[in-house]
């Protein structure tokens, strides 16, 4: 049916070995022969059989990407970063979306990517020791986002620092009762990110001399709905928090929705800070901890490129910084009770009912008004902002 390398060889009157060399641009082929082969291949509209090639060479030209949820903003963003780098280097991307726990188990039980990919990129998966072993036993380079796995390349943000910054921000605004909407803490698979962030939350409280109250932590599982319920739960406490740290923007969105539905406002009644700098965070004017999402994907792919080219022997680790983006949902704490004046000195009192603080007083202006007060949201961090540790 389709032309094979033999047909090309015949047409160019050379051996298949020469065709193979010519087509792959290997050095020892004379210019005139190469031309002839190229033309023959063109005329037959020849396309190489990737499988035969892989079988013979042992290389697949394919990178496996394993992640828990393609349809979540964060992962699709990272995926996009990975893709751009792989695509530029002519590598294919085989996607493994783990979804629920059953698929996860099946994946590690059968290792369907074995012999199928040249390298693996694993995003934010909770890995048991056995599972980590299974990964390295594939004997291909593995780059992991979020979790640290011995023998694997590694990219992550400094979760402890990010969470610390978030909680300190609230404390500096005068808040003392600070709630936290946590991620999948209870997940039997044990994602590590929520654990680290929760730990940072406690540490900062302790450091500030604020007693820890378990009731001020509500589980949110990273979704809007769960974030909304978590906020409802926090607000139903006898002594509700005046500020809340949600460890994802989506949960913060849910929290804001609950506030709105209860007739409360951020930051007048409750301050809310998120994590991620989701694409709609600016829209909702949410104060948050930004992380360079796409960039992390690019870094992972570059690590794999390095590993594949043998450029660097030992797996490296890269930690990218987070950044506090102050928008309109966090504000100074008030002394007590809702709707009274604030006690925090040095901050001007905002008139009641002024609505969103970023709404300028020029209704009807034609051009789009300037952006609200806002930390710069970066798309991509320059490389000197990343810290590389050889190990």
Identity of the residue, 356 or 385, whose beta carbon is nearer to its own copies in the bound complex = 356
- Smallest distance, DNA to C-beta of residue 89, A: 17
Identity of the residue, 13 or 391, whose beta carbon is nearer to DNA in the bound complex = 13
Give, as ranges, the residues between 7 and 66 that touch its own copies (CB under 8 A). 47-52, 54-55, 60, 62
Give, as ranges, the residues between 231 and 250 that touch its own copies (CB under 8 A). 232, 235-236
Q: Which of 25, 27, 188, 364 binds its own copies (CB under 8 A)?
A: 364
Q: Which of 348, 363, 379, 389 binds its own copies (CB under 8 A)?
A: 363
* Per CB under 8 A, 349 contacts its own copies: no
Selection from 317, 15, 312 nearest residue 146 by Cα: 317
Q: What's the sign of the alpha-carbon dihedral 329, 334, 340, 345? A: negative
- Strands 92-97, 119-123: pairing is unpaired
**Gap between the terminal Cα atoms of the chain:** 52
* Per CB under 7 A, 39 contacts DNA: no
- Smallest distance, DNA to C-beta of residue 23, A: 6
* Per CB under 7 A, 24 contacts DNA: yes
| DSSP tally for the chain: helices H, then strands E | 12, 13
- Smallest distance, its own copies to C-beta of residue 360, A: 6
* Per CB under 7 A, 43 contacts DNA: no
Q: Which of 38, 44, 48, 94 binds DNA (CB under 7 A)?
A: 48
Stretch binding DNA (CB under 7 A), from 44-52, 100-108, 208-216, 278-286: 44-52
Taking the C-alpha atoms of residue 327 and residue 57, their distance in angstroms, rounded to an integer, is 54
Q: Which of 35, 42, 43, 52 binds DNA (CB under 7 A)?
A: 52
Cα separation values, 328 from 33, 52, 126, 194, 284, Å: 68, 58, 34, 25, 8
Tokens coding 272: 């809310």
Stretch binding its own copies (CB under 8 A), from 22-30, 109-117, 151-159, 299-307: 109-117
Enumerate the β-bridge partners of residue 62: 92
Stretch binding DNA (CB under 7 A), from 2-10, 141-149, 203-211, 237-245: 2-10
Selection from 201, 338, 203 nearest residue 266 by Cα: 338
Taking the C-alpha atoms of residue 284 and residue 300, their distance in angstroms, rounded to an integer, is 30
Tokens coding 24: 């792959």
Taking the C-alpha atoms of residue 337 and residue 391, their distance in angstroms, rounded to an integer, is 53
């Amino acid at each position: 049916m389709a032309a094979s390398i033999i047909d090309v060889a015949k047409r160019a009157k050379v051996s298949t070995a020469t065709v193979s060399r010519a087509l792959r641009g290997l050095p020892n082929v004379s210019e005139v022969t190469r031309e002839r082969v190229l033309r023959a291949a063109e005329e037959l509209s020849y396309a190489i059989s990737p499988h035969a090639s892989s079988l013979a060479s042992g290389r697949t030209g394919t990178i496996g990407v394993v992640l828990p949820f393609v349809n979540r903003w964060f992962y699709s963003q990272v995926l996009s970063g990975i893709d751009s780098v792989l695509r530029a280097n002519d590598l294919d991307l085989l996607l493994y979306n783990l979804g629920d726990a059953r698929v996860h188990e099946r994946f590690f039980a059968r290792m369907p990517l074995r012999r199928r990919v040249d390298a693996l990129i694993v995003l934010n998966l909770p890995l048991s020791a056995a599972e980590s072993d299974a990964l390295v036993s594939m004997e291909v380079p593995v780059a992991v986002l979020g979790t640290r796995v011995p023998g694997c390349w590694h990219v992550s943000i400094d979760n402890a620092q990010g969470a610390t910054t978030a909680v300190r921000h609230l404390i500096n605004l005068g808040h003392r009762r600070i709630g936290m909407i946590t991620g999948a803490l209870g997940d039997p698979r044990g994602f590590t990110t929520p654990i680290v962030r929760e730990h940072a939350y406690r540490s900062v409280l302790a450091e500030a001399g604020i007693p820890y109250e378990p009731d001020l932590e509500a589980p949110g599982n990273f979704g809007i709905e769960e974030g909304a319920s978590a906020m409802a739960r926090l607000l139903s406490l006898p002594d509700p928090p005046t500020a809340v740290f949600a460890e994802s923007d989506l949960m913060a969105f849910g929290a804001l929705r609950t506030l709105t539905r209860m007739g409360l406002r951020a930051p007048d009644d409750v301050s809310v800070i998120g994590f991620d700098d989701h694409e709609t965070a600016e829209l909702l004017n949410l104060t948050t901890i930004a992380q360079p999402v796409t960039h992390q994907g690019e870094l992972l792919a570059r690590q794999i490129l390095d590993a594949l080219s043998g450029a660097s022997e030992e797996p490296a680790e890269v930690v990218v910084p987070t950044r506090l983006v102050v928008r309109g949902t966090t504000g100074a704490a008030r002394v007590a009770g809702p709707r009274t004046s604030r006690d925090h000195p040095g901050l001007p009192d905002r008139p009641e009912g002024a609505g969103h603080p970023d709404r300028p007083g020029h209704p009807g202006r034609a051009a789009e008004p300037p952006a609200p007060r806002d930390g710069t949201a970066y798309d991509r961090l320059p490389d000197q902002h990343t810290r590389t540790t050889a190990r």
